[in-house]
Copies of this chain bind each other. A is one copy, B any other.
Amino acid sequence: MEFDDFKKQFDKAIDRKETVVFSADCSVCYSGRAESHLPDGERLIIIKADSNLLVHQPKGTSPINYMKQGSTHQVVANDEGVFLESKNPLLKEHMEIKLNKIHFLKTVKLEDNASLALAGSEKDMSDMIMRKPELIESGFRPVDREEQTKYGFVDVLGTDSANNLVIVECKRYIADLQAVTQLRRYVEKMISLKGIKNIRGILAAPKITPNAEQMLKDWGFEFRKVEPPNYLERHKKKQGKLDKFIA
């Protein structure tokens, strides 16, 4: 691909806020929050309408290099070769991609105003517990959600049958040491705020690591096995549809 053609198409697409995709043999230098260098290799490079830039290797889920929104991108040629220079003045970041060879370039104007609807998050879990407090234990009564915000980011705050304050921390997957320290922080915060000693801490999750469970016990907290709503629901149906649905 000729440099002039490449630059022409590139500039026009950037100007029109199209999505730019091209494949190139290139090397990448980054400077900003850290400093990095990526030697020569063939990659896919994407520039989005909002000026986000992604450099993807042929393997892996995440971009090996990237520039965030608010960057400017310019194709330049000098004695040393052809470069894609990206600058983000606000974040004080800079990237230089040396382009050895372009395999293809495509630009396209994309319209998309949709946003993702997601079920099975931690928020969904705490909502579920608010609706079905018996998932924690018989006699557990969540207090008004508004109450919570005053005392921090506690997932669910409530009282047990003996009228003790109960703090519930939810994890959608495996609860780890960090989850226990988090719960501990909330309990201590609440103790100092309320001046009450008897506050129970409960960790609600589908699973917990052994070390986390030990730490939980050491601190007198409790674990409740709770599955996030919808989580793998389809796959838990025995037999039948499952076999066809998942190879």
Contacts of A32 in B (CB 8 A): 232
Q: Is A48 in contact with B64, judged by CB distance below 8 angstroms?
A: no
CB distance from A235 to the nearest CB of B (A): 5
Contact partner of A23 (CB less than 8 A), chosen from B72, B108, B173, is B108
Interface size class of A (residues with CB under 8 A): 35 or more
In the complex, whether A224 has a CB less than 8 A from a CB of chain B is no
In the complex, whether A234 has a CB less than 8 A from a CB of chain B is yes
Q: Is B69 in contact with A61, judged by CB distance below 8 angstroms?
A: yes
Contacts of A178 in B (CB 8 A): 178, 181-182
In the complex, what distance in Å separates the CA atom of A52 from the CA atom of B66?
18
**8 Å CB interface, A58-111 against B:** 58-61, 64-66, 68-69, 72, 87, 89, 92, 94, 103-104, 106, 108, 110-111
Contacts of A120 in B (CB 8 A): 33-35
In the complex, whether A1 has a CB less than 8 A from a CB of chain B is no
Copies of this chain, tallied across the complex: 2
Residue of B nearest to A113 (CB): B41
Residue of B nearest to A68 (CB): B61
Q: Is B69 in contact with A35, judged by CB distance below 8 angstroms?
A: no
Q: Is A57 in contact with B112, judged by CB distance below 8 angstroms?
A: yes
Q: Which 7 A-B pairs have the closest CB atoms?
A: A41-B112, A34-B120, A58-B110, A42-B110, A41-B114, A39-B114, A50-B59
Q: List 11 A-B contacts (CB under 8 A).
A: A21-B21, A21-B44, A31-B232, A32-B232, A35-B118, A38-B115, A39-B114, A42-B111, A42-B112, A43-B112, A58-B111
